[in-house]
Structure 1
C-alpha cells in the first residue's frame, strides 16, 4: 500500500489534488500515482460517487500531463470501455493522447466510448480540480474523443464505417460536424510517417487475464458462509470445490449498464454455452454480490431471473452472510464503498480450480463468453490430467 489508510481517509479533496500534482511532477513517484487508481484504495473509502469521479478524473488528467505509461494504460482503456461519466471519459481520452505512440487497437475503445457518451455529453473544464465551468477554454467528452481519433489518424481506419454513419445522421451541431470532419480527414490521410504499434495492445494489454493461483494458497476461506437465491446456506469451500467454477461479482444497485447488469446477462450466456457442451454439471457458475446487506435472497433471485440466469444446485446467485471481509481479501476485489453503497468497482470475473483457488482472472475490460468457457474447460482438463 503506497499510503496509510488513516492518512488517505482523512485527506481533503484539496489535499488530494495537491498530492496528485506532486506525484505527477516526480517521475520517481509515478507508481504511487497509478496506485491511487486502484478502486480498493483507502483514499476512496467513505466518499460519495461524485467525489470519487472528481478524484479519479484528476489522476487521469495528471497522467495526461506527465505521459501515459504502459502500467497506467489499462485504467484509461477501462474508462473508455465501460465509463458512463462524461468527465471521466473525457479525462481518459485526453490521457490516451499522451501515450508514446498511436495504436490501432485503441480505436475500438474510443469509438465505444463515443457511442456511449455522445447522448449525454456535457461541457467541462480541466483547468483546476473538479471544475465544470463552461468557458472559452472548456471542452467535452465528445470533443476529447474526437481529438483522440484524430491523434490516432490512419490507425483508426477500422472504425471509419461507424464514424461515417454518425456523420450521416441528421441533427449534428456545427461544432460537432467540424470536429468530426477534422478527425475523418486525418484518418483518411496517408499512413506514411505515422508511428503505429500494430497488432495487439502493448505488452499484451488487449486482455485482462492474469494467472493467480499461488498467492491465494495461504489464505483461509473456511469462515465464509454464503446464502443463495433460495435462502439456502452453504460454505464457500463446499460449493467451490470438487470442480472448476466461474465467478462474477456484481451488485443489484449498480447504475452502470456496461458493468453489473451486462456481466450477469453474459454469465447466463456462458451457462448456455456450458450446457451446449454438456458441461453444465462439471463446471459451476456463481454471481456473488458486493452488497450482501442489501442484496438478500429474494432480490438475488429476481435479478438473476430477469437476466435469464440458470439457478440450481450447480449455478447460483450468492451473498456472503459471514466472512464478507475475508471474501473481499481472498479475491482482492476492486471495490470501495461510501457510507453504505458501492462508490466504485471494476469488472471482475474469476475462474477457480477444483480446490477453489483462482486459476485465471479477468479484470477491468469486457470479457468474451466463448473465451471464458474455453479457459474454464482448460482448467477442467488440467484437473483431469493430474
Structure 2
C-alpha cells in the first residue's frame, strides 16, 4: 500500500480514542507499514489542539505499530528524529522498538541509538505497551533505556563502533546509573562483541542530514506571489516583507520558537546558526549569505524577546542575522515551506528541526529537516551553491537575460506609445504578446495548436496592413520570426534562437505600428536613389 492509498486519515480534529482505532485498523489491513507513515506527519489535523503529552503518546503508538507490521525505509527519518532529538521516554522507546523491525541495519542507527540513550538516561520512566493508555499496575513494563539496549543487541556487529561509549557507561564511575541498567549495558556489550554476522551497510538510508534533492523543492511561480504578502518583524521592531528579506542574496532560513522546552531543537538550532554565522565570516562569504530565523510563536515572541534569545546563544544581529516573527499570513508561510509544526491554540505542541536554503527569487534550493544540523555539511553546500551562481552569472546567457530584464522597463512605455489604434494592428500586437507568453508557459506543448492559430492571426493582420500601405516589410520580419520560433523550439532546441525569433516578431510589430507617412517617405527615398 502506497502512502497516498491510506484511506483512514481524518479530515479534521479527532479525539485520541478515534485516533487509536484508525491506527489499529490501518496496521491490520496494511502489513507493509506504508499506511502508517502519514500518521507521523506533524501538519495533520488530528494533532491540532492536542497537548504535547498527547501528541507524544499518539506518535509513540504509531511507532509501536511498526513493530507489529514492518518498518519501511520511508519511516526511518521519523524514527531517527525521535531517537536523536526526542525527550519523551514512551515515544523514544517505541521508536527503538520500530527500528528493530527495519529491513536493513546501518552504523547510522547505532549513532542515533547512542544519542537517545545519553539523552534519556537522566529522566527515564516505566511504562507498558500493553494498552494505549497507561494503567497501574503495569503489565510487561519496560523503559526507554531497555528498548534502546535491545536495539543495540539487534544491530549486533554493526554496533561495534559504539562499544567504547557503552563501556564507559557500564563502568559507571560517577555512580549515576542504577545497577539493573549497568547489568543490561554489560550484557549488550557481550552480545555485540560475540556477534559474528556479516555487516551489510544500507547506503540508501545513510542520509543523516535530512537533505532533500533540489528537484523536489522548487515552488511554482504562482506560489511565490505569497512572499509579497507575508509581513515579518525583526528583533529591532523593523518590519519587512518576506520577498524583500530574500532579495539579492542566498538566505539560510530556520524556524524556531523561544518557549520550546526541548534543548535539542530550537535552542540548539539558534546556537548552530551562530556557529554557521562565524564560519561564514571566516570564509569571507558572509556578505553573500543572509541568516534568518522565523518564530512559530508570533503571539509570545516579541522583538525584545527575540533579541535576547538570539544574543544569549551567540547569534549576533549586528552582523546581519535576523530573528523574526510573522505579523501576517502565517498560514501562507507554513503552506509555502510545508512547515512541520502543529498547535494547540497559540502554543506549539509539535515541531521538527527545519532549515532552508532559499535564493533571492524564493526558490528552495535545499532543506535540512528532522536531523540535527550538521554545520560543516551546510557550509559546504552553501559554498557549492555560491560557486554555481558565480558560474551562471559569468555565462553569456545570464548576461543576456539580465540585459533583457533591465530593458523591459524602457520597452514597455515605447510599446504603449506605438500601440496602434486600428483593429488589424491591435490584433497583431495582441497576437505577438500571446505567442511570447505561451513560450514561457510550462504547458507550452499542450497549447501548440492554439499558438499556431495566434501566429496565423498575427501574420494575417500584418498581411492586411501590408496591402493597405503597399509595404510588406513588417510581414517579412514576422515570417522570419515565426519560422525561427518554431524551428528553434522543436527541431533544434536553442534559447538564443527563440530569442532571435522574438526579436524579429517584435521588430515586425513595431514597424507595423509606424504611421503611413513613414512608408511613403521610405518609398520616395528608394525611388530617388534608383533614379
Q: TM-score range by the shorter chain?
A: over 0.9
Which of residues 215, 221, 225 is equivalent to 2:219? 215
Alpha-carbon RMSD across the aligned residues, in angstroms, is 1.9
Deviation at 1:313, TM superposition (A): 7.2
Which of residues 205, 208, 212 is equivalent to 2:207? 205
1:302–1:35 distance in 2 versus 1, CA, 3 Å: same
Structure 1: 5+ residue stretches without partners? none
CA distance in 1, matches of 2:84, 2:27: 24
1:16 match: 19
1:291 match: 297
Deviations, residues 42-98 of structure 1 (Å, cap 9, x unaligned) = 110111111111111110100111111101111111100101111111110111011
Deviation at 1:281, TM superposition (A): 1.2
2:122 match: 119
Deviation at 1:188, TM superposition (A): 0.6
Structure 1 stretch displaced more, 207-216 or 219-228: 207-216
Q: Tell me if the contact between 1:124 and 1:134 (Cα under 8 Å) persists in the aligned partners.
A: no
CA distance in 2, matches of 1:305, 1:313: 11
Structure 1 stretch displaced more, 101-110 or 245-254: 101-110
Deviation at 1:104, TM superposition (A): 2.1
Deviation at 1:312, TM superposition (A): 3.4
1:123–1:19 distance in 2 versus 1, CA, 3 Å: same
TM-score by length of 2: 0.69
1:238–1:38 distance in 2 versus 1, CA, 3 Å: same
1:84–1:132 distance in 2 versus 1, CA, 3 Å: farther
Is residue 258 from structure 1 mapped to residue 241 from structure 2 by the alignment? Answer: no
2:185 match: 180
1:248 match: 254
CA distance in 1, matches of 2:199, 2:35: 29
CA distance in 1, matches of 2:374, 2:80: 16
Is residue 234 from structure 1 mapped to residue 251 from structure 2 by the alignment? Answer: no
Higher gyration radius (CA): 2
1:32–1:199 distance in 2 versus 1, CA, 3 Å: closer
Q: Tell me if the contact between 1:40 and 1:333 (Cα under 8 Å) persists in the aligned partners.
A: yes
CA distance in 2, matches of 1:355, 1:126: 49
Is residue 35 from structure 1 mapped to residue 3 from structure 2 by the alignment? Answer: no
CA distance in 1, matches of 2:9, 2:95: 26
Question: Superposition pairs for residues 50-129 of structure 1, below 5 Å?
Answer: 50-129=53-132
2:430 match: none
Q: Tell me if the contact between 2:108 and 2:206 (Cα under 8 Å) persists in the aligned partners.
A: no
- Structure (1/2) with the larger helix percentage: 2
Deviation at 1:136, TM superposition (A): 4.9
Which of residues 105, 125, 143 is equivalent to 1:140? 143
Three-state SS of the structure 2 residue aligned to 1:215 is coil
Three-state SS of the structure 1 residue aligned to 2:102 is coil
Give the number of aligned pairs: 382
Structure 2: 5+ residue stretches without partners? 393-531
1:272–1:119 distance in 2 versus 1, CA, 3 Å: same
